[in-house]
Chain A
Amino acid sequence: MKKIEAVIKPFKLDDVKEALTQAGIVGMTISEVRGFGRQKGHTELYRGGEYTVDFLPKIKIEVMVPDEMATKVTEIIQATAKTGNIGDGKIFILPVEDAIRIRTGERGNSAL
């Protein structure tokens, strides 16, 4: 079992969700996060004064998938979240020990 964590541009969320759902992913968790990578921040203007926003708003998607799905899911995310510009985000793949469905107590892949 793998956990795919993707930090993407907020306006790409709908596309990514749509593509993952069509590929058979039935659940995901998202959160609104802030951060920076190579893109760094950007400057904004208020009443004639410039200021730097270091941490830009991003969306973090977390998807748990069976091992054999991991590659496909990362490919889908990379393809749909890509704009080609700096700041498109990153994808992380982590091993997951187990999963439990709270309602039934099912474990492993069947709990996903």
Chain B
Amino acid sequence: MRIGSRWSWRLGVCGLALIVALAGKALSQDKPAEKPADAAAQAAAPAPPPKPDPGGTATGTIADVPAKEAGKPTLVEVADAVGHNRVAINIMWTLITGFLVMFMQAGFALAETGFTRAKNVAHTMMMNFMIYAIGMTGYWIMGFALQMGGVGALGTLGGTGVLDSEFTITLFGKEFGLWGTKGFFLAGSSYDVAVFALFLFQMVFMDTAATIPTGAMAERWKFSAFFIYGFFISMITYPLFANWVWGGGWLSTLGKNFGLGHGYVDFAGSSVVHMVGGVTGLAGAMVLGPRIGKYTKDGTPNPIPGHNIPMAILGCFILAFGWFGFNPGSTLAGGDLRIAVIAVNTMLASAAGAILAALYMWVVYGKPDPSMAANGFLAGLVAITAPCAFVSSFWAFVIGAIAGVILCWSVFFFERTMKVDDPVGAISVHGTCGAWGVISLGLFADGTYGDGFNGVPSTVKGLLYGDPSQLVAQIIGPVVNFGFIFGASWLFFKLLDATIGMRVPRDVELEGLDVPEMGAHGYPEIQGPPTLVHGMGALGSARAQAVPARVVAPEGGR
């Protein structure tokens, strides 16, 4: 070890010397370079050598505006450059915030797996992982077209307005948009940069909704049933509700058609994303039934502690980080400077949610329960997702704080009264607090933003700022959400249960889903066969190959 470290020290010195030598050479190259320049100067007028711009003040000038005659752009050329830059900033913003939202999948995977038991980690992780792939595929095939096929021209993203076909029915003399009919497989006229940027952003939102139910249904859901579900939510339920709110569908036109404020407003998806996920999870958890051992015979719930609180809390932090894409990104415009307000509101609500949930548990149960505090943190984020663009920081904090308390009540309501077993609290975090989020918009929207939102002139105001009709729209939204999503999902899960079965057999659930469902333990050195624990060398692996039956069905439930 001594000799090794001495050698690495010498190598380091040699490397440093090499870098210094190369840098010296690079600097000295400035001089010989002048020679050919001098030779050229004799032929043409002397050109000044290119100057660096370390301060950054001289970079980006009129010379950088694309023009026929360099350095002398016409007004039209300047206007073109401005328009292009505006859309470029917005598309960049939409893509980068979309990348942040994509990372929330990792947050969900860690949070859900940490809040469940070690014997099911591979299965829980695998659901959170595969939903990304399955959901994306389904959304590309059909979901995106149903959701956005009739959205029309995309103001902030430029584009040519190719998504222009909405299926509508006429009721009471008004048009009700039900789903879009363009953009299947992103083919044909959807082959457009604005559409692709929109697809990426909307896809990661859909996948957020799709991964939420895996938490409520964890530790007992058959992987084959989950696999089919992944296509169901990404191709049918999520896109339909999202169309009604974001794709120009009938909930968004409640304002234009019936004078209800700005129609149903859900800025970044408290209901479109989170409530859809939570309500789907509720339907699924009800069809599945509670985990074995969750309730004693008289119906009292038993705690089933999650196996890794650090993992779960890391997941929640990753989610909060991703939320900086989720909410501010929903402007679809980096040039819309309201993003500063949105980002601050988002973080304030999460703080309030965490503090209030922790305090509630501390006061009522004696300890600031980490898993409930983490749920409260997310509850604040879910609630602020709809109103984030329309409220002041004070109301953002209040909305998050109320969400933190509602979360606790909701968890105990579903666990103790409804007897619905939700291992990670997904139904309460996303379902209940999602509904609270859209309603809070109808109360606290302060009229400083949203001029022309959903085609209604003037800004968005809630009840406290003089528009009670907005609150009516904000109540219609979650009622429709619950009715449609719960009904459709419950029927779907019942159908799955009657055909391929929704729940793993009892002995599989007791042993842990990892080996029977996935083929391997998530933590083989802790739970796997002893050969793997002790024989990490050649003998261990040789034995594992020679007796594959042990890997498939280890004896007993270690």
Contact = CB atoms under 8 A, between A and B. Distances in A.
Interface of A: 44-51
B303 interface: yes
B162 to A, nearest CB: 49
B448 to A, nearest CB: 39
A45 B371 contact: no
A45 B368 CA distance: 10
A47 B366 contact: no
B302 interface: yes
B412 interface: yes
B302 A47 contact: no
A49 B367 contact: no
Contacts of A49: 301-303
B490 to A, nearest CB: 25
Contact of B371 (A44, A46, A50): A46
A95 to B, nearest CB: 30
Contacts of A47: 303, 369, 371-372, 411, 415, 425
Contacts of A50: 303
Interface size range of chain B in the complex:
10 to 19
A101 to B, nearest CB: 22
B305 interface: yes
Contact of A45 (B365, B408, B411, B425): B365
A72 B408 CA distance: 56
A58 B364 CA distance: 32
Nearest to A50: B303
16 contacts: A44-B305, A45-B366, A46-B303, A46-B304, A47-B369, A47-B371, A47-B372, A47-B425, A48-B303, A48-B365, A48-B372, A48-B411, A49-B302, A50-B303, A51-B302, A51-B305
Contacts of A46: 303-306, 369, 371
Interface string B355-370: 0000001001111010
A43 to B, nearest CB: 10
A53 B342 CA distance: 45
A36 B65 CA distance: 79
Contacts of A48: 303, 361, 364-365, 369, 372, 408, 411-412
Contacts of B361: 48
A46 B117 CA distance: 13
Given A45-B369, A46-B305, A46-B369, 12 more contacts: A44-B305, A45-B367, A46-B303, A46-B306, A47-B371, A48-B361, A48-B364, A48-B365, A48-B408, A48-B411, A48-B412, A51-B305
Which of A48, A49, A51 lies at the interface centre, i.e. has the most chain B CB atoms within 10 A of its CB? Answer: A48
A97 to B, nearest CB: 27
B354 to A, nearest CB: 15
Contacts of A45: 303, 365-367, 369
Interface string B284-303: 00000000000000000111
Which of A44, A47, A50, A51 lies at the interface centre, i.e. has the most chain B CB atoms within 10 A of its CB? Answer: A47
Nearest to B367: A45
B417 to A, nearest CB: 13
Contacts of B364: 48
Interface in B358-401: 361, 364-367, 369, 371-372
